[in-house]
Amino acid sequence: MGQIIIVLVYGIIMGFATQAIIENKGYNDNWFWWGFFFGIIALIVAAARPQCVSSIEMNRGLAEEQEKQNELKRKDGRMLQEDGWKCICGQLNASYVGTCSCGRTRADVEDIKKKKEQEQNQAGESERLKQLQQYKALLDCGALTEEEFTAKKKQLLNL
């Protein structure tokens, strides 16, 4: 009789212990009877279970991720204000970042941007020269007066 009580008490203790472990891991399952009948084995199995991440926690994780990304976006805005630089790959980098994650250095990017600007300026320049030549031709054939030509020339050359 005494032995039965001891076994019962042991089973109940193991049942509660197993249940406590499984609840602690985030499971909603009832493991009391597993603990009650299998004792230490159920306890070990429960302890070996991976941590169950509930959907609420997962949502919280997503919200945190979202918040982090928002924070990054805000940082982008601040960075540009604080002398950050934008790589031609679209990545925004802080002023202290020398090399973009795409591998281009700030100097590279500025070179490329400068070259592009120069090319555009050159294109504009040759365009202006072409126009000037046309005006000169108009002057030569008498379609433009000297004054008109000079005015056009000043306009084109930003004099």
Q: Is position 150 an interface residue for Zn ion (rule: CB under 5 A)? A: no
Q: Which of 40, 44, 63, 102 is in the footprint of Zn ion by CB under 5 A?
A: 102
Q: Which is nearest to 95 in space by CA: 112, 75, 113?
A: 75
Q: Is position 112 an interface residue for Zn ion (rule: CB under 5 A)? A: no
Distance separating alpha carbons of residues 7 and 151, to the nearest angstrom: 112
From the list 4-12, 30-38, 103-111, 143-151, the region that binds Zn ion by CB under 5 A is 103-111
Q: Which is nearer to Zn ion, 19 or 93 (CB)?
A: 93
- Give CA separation, 45 vs 19, 22, 39, in Å: 11, 10, 10
Instruction: Extract long-range pairs of 10-17: CB within 8 Å, 24+ residues apart.
Output: 10/39, 11/35, 11/36, 11/37, 11/39, 12/36, 14/38, 14/39, 14/40, 14/42, 14/43, 17/43
The distance of closest approach from Cβ of residue 86 to Zn ion in the complex, given in angstroms and rounded to an integer, is: 9
Q: Which is nearer to Zn ion, 60 or 115 (CB)?
A: 115
Per-residue binding string, Zn ion, 32-71, x by CB under 5 A, is: ----------------------------------------
Q: Which is nearer to Zn ion, 106 or 128 (CB)?
A: 106
> 3-state DSSP helix/strand/coil percent for the chain, to nearest 5?
70, 5, 25
Summary count for the chain: helices (H), strands (E): 6, 2
| # of chain residues touching Zn ion (CB under 5 A) | 6
Binding to Zn ion in span 70-99, by CB under 5 A: 87, 89, 91
The distance of closest approach from Cβ of residue 78 to Zn ion in the complex, given in angstroms and rounded to an integer, is: 19
What is the contact surface with Zn ion in residues (CB under 5 A)?
87, 89, 91, 100, 102, 104
